[in-house]
Structure 1
Amino acid sequence: MPTDTPQPAFVLVRPQMGENIGAAARAMWNFGLDRMRLVAPRDGWPNPKAVAMASGAGRLLDEAQLTADVAEAVADCHFVMATTARARGLTKPVFSPERAMQVAAERIAAGERVAVLFGPERAGLENEDIAKANAIINVPVNPDFPSLNLAQCVLLTGYEWRRAQGAITPERVDMARADWAEQIEIEKLADHYEARLSEAGFFFPEHKAEGMRLNLRNMWSRMPLTRADVQTLHGVLRQMVRWKDRGD
């Protein structure tokens, strides 16, 4: 059975190749989507080539709803969006994929059912299909090569759905079993380097010494150091001093 997670239905309209249906299922499941609807697949249904391509997402194919036309596929929906890379001469709201999935999330949170139409591989959705939609999702592709593979378009839209759920962290650091150094540890590292550099005559000429020390302190504070980093830098300096002493 489909998950209970509120989400849009992805409607593949007259898909031509079983492989692309399977790849679309895989792309959907990558982003936690499992409501697939199929409108008149060219090669019939079920299709063993779709199952082979789904690679672990075969459950979506088993539970996919098969319909004869777009009207039947979206009959229970309150809001429908149609993906297309081309202007169609139809007066409709046009969303970027990002905004479209934000709108979908808002409407679904309000209790509405939302569907997204994806056209067949060769030519995309027909105007008759798009006329049944409330809005268009326009993918900002290269105008000289606007054709998107079906599964690619599903993947892109699924990713934006995931983003709209706040499930993607824009930036993070994988700590790999490390801890960030505390300020006292960085302060001691700065003291260590300053002392050894002073002994080596680094802070010269004298009238520039204060500014040089300040720049070094500022450099340490900008560096995101782990405790292991601090220990390594202490070790580097100790070994350089030992090496110098042996050379004497």
Structure 2
Amino acid sequence: MSKGHPQPAFVLVRPQMGENIGAAARAMWNFGLDRMRIVAPRDGWPNQRAVAMASGAGRLLDEAMLVDDTAAALEDCHYVFATTARMRGMTKPVYTPEEAMRVAAKKIGAGEKVAVLFGPERAGLENDDIAKANAIINVPVNPEFASLNLGQCVLLTAYEWQRNRIEVAPVRDEMAGTVVAEQIEIEKLAEHYEQRLGDAGFFFPVGKEESMKLNLRNMWSRLPLTRADVQMLHGVMRQMVRWKERG
């Protein structure tokens, strides 16, 4: 198995379709996970449909642990989560995927081995499988359509793992090769527009000139302008003046 960063093992219990196994592998690799364990796949193993669906994540399938039953997949684990859309009348802590992966990260950081069980496509995990888990992961889905595709459930859980593993800003600006404009550049832009708008008679009536200029200055300060934005706005005004002079 891979010797990458510490992470939970994702255990696919009796998966039925090779395509779903491949989709799960692809979802795991999207978020840097590569510990897959497969319990008694219905269509045997290896499975070419799984390989085709995995696309660039085929290595996960090559390195996957193949076992005959759920107990064997969990032998070396200290803590186990079971994903299920339905409560089975068992007394266990129930986590959202986000909180479950936060708990998993803490336990793995303390040296424990953690696994997450995912059930077969048709009916999900059986009670015997869930009974082996320490806690349940329950996704807050539409109660009238609670069934998640195997690959989707793996993707959702893997995403939450990645969010807990690295610090991801909820909002960020992509600068696309430019930088935020400096105050002096905003000042020059404001002066350029005030001069040209004044020439065009924009500041009318005279008694409102100062308040109109103040409103413009406030507008420039509110805009998150980049240096490229400032250059473009200068160009817009220069071109409009040229066009007017040609007319």
TM class by shorter chain equals over 0.9
Corresponding residue of 1:220: 220
Corresponding residue of 2:179: 179
What is the CA–CA distance in structure 2 between the aligned matches of 1:124 and 1:134, rounded to whole Å? 17
Shift, 1:147, TM fit: 0.8
Corresponding residue of 1:84: 84
What is the CA–CA distance in structure 2 between the aligned matches of 1:55 and 1:168, rounded to whole Å? 26
Q: What residue identity is the alignment partner of 2:104?
A: A
Q: Is the 8 A contact 1:93 1:136 kept in 2?
A: yes
- Give me the identity figure in percent: 77
TM-score, structure 2 as length reference: 0.95
1:38 and 2:41 correspond: no
Corresponding residue of 1:66: 66
1:238 and 2:234 correspond: no
1:137 and 2:119 correspond: no
What is the CA–CA distance in structure 2 between the aligned matches of 1:197 and 1:108, rounded to whole Å? 63
Query: Relative to structure 2, which stretch is displaced further, 165-174 or 110-119?
Result: 165-174
Root-mean-square deviation over aligned CA pairs? 1.5
Q: Is the 8 A contact 1:25 1:36 kept in 2?
A: yes
Corresponding residue of 2:107: 107
Q: Is the 8 A contact 1:79 1:114 kept in 2?
A: yes
* Post-superposition CA distance 1:82-121 (Å, at most 9, x none): 1111122111111111111111111101111100000000
Secondary structure of the residue that 2:91 maps to in structure 1? coil
What is the CA–CA distance in structure 1 between the aligned matches of 2:239 and 2:42, rounded to whole Å? 71
* Post-superposition CA distance 1:1-21 (Å, at most 9, x none): 413310000000111111111
Q: What residue identity is the alignment partner of 1:135?
A: A
* Post-superposition CA distance 1:9-35 (Å, at most 9, x none): 000011111111111111111111111
What is the CA–CA distance in structure 2 between the aligned matches of 1:171 and 1:112, rounded to whole Å? 33
Q: Is the 8 A contact 1:193 1:237 kept in 2?
A: yes
What is the CA–CA distance in structure 2 between the aligned matches of 1:241 and 1:33, rounded to whole Å? 58
Corresponding residue of 1:204: 204
Shift, 1:52, TM fit: 1.8
What is the CA–CA distance in structure 1 between the aligned matches of 2:43 and 2:130, rounded to whole Å? 23
Q: Is the 8 A contact 1:51 1:61 kept in 2?
A: yes
Secondary structure of the residue that 2:80 maps to in structure 1? strand
Corresponding residue of 2:96: 96
User: Any stretches of 5+ residues in structure 2 without a counterpart?
Assistant: none
Q: Is the 8 A contact 1:24 1:154 kept in 2?
A: yes
Shift, 1:167, TM fit: 5.0
What is the CA–CA distance in structure 1 between the aligned matches of 2:187 and 2:7, rounded to whole Å? 51
Corresponding residue of 1:7: 7
Residue-pair matches, total: 247
Shift, 1:202, TM fit: 2.0
Q: What residue identity is the alignment partner of 1:158?
A: A
Q: Is the 8 A contact 1:3 1:34 kept in 2?
A: no
User: Any stretches of 5+ residues in structure 1 without a counterpart?
Assistant: none
Q: What residue identity is the alignment partner of 2:61?
A: L
Q: Is the 8 A contact 1:28 1:158 kept in 2?
A: yes
Shift, 1:40, TM fit: 1.2
Corresponding residue of 2:126: 126
TM-score, structure 1 as length reference: 0.94
What is the CA–CA distance in structure 2 between the aligned matches of 1:181 and 1:208, rounded to whole Å? 29
What is the CA–CA distance in structure 2 between the aligned matches of 1:53 and 1:236, rounded to whole Å? 50
